[in-house]
Amino acid sequence: MKYRRQKVICGVMLFIFLLPSGCSLKYSPGSAEEFEQETSAWRNGPGPIKKPAARAEAQLELAWFYLHHRNPN
pLDDT, tens digit, 9 for 90 and up, residues 10-58:
887 777 776 666 555 566 677 778 878 877 777 777 677 788 888 888 8
Distance CA 35, CA 28 (A): 9
Chain mean position to CA 28: 9
Name the residue ranges covered by the structural domains of the chain.
Answer: 2-67
Question: What are the Cα distances from residue 15, in Å, to 20, 21, 44, 68?
Answer: 9, 10, 39, 31
Q: What is the pLDDT of residue 22?
A: 57
Q: Which residues contact 71 (CB under 8 A, 6 or more apart)?
A: 32, 35, 65
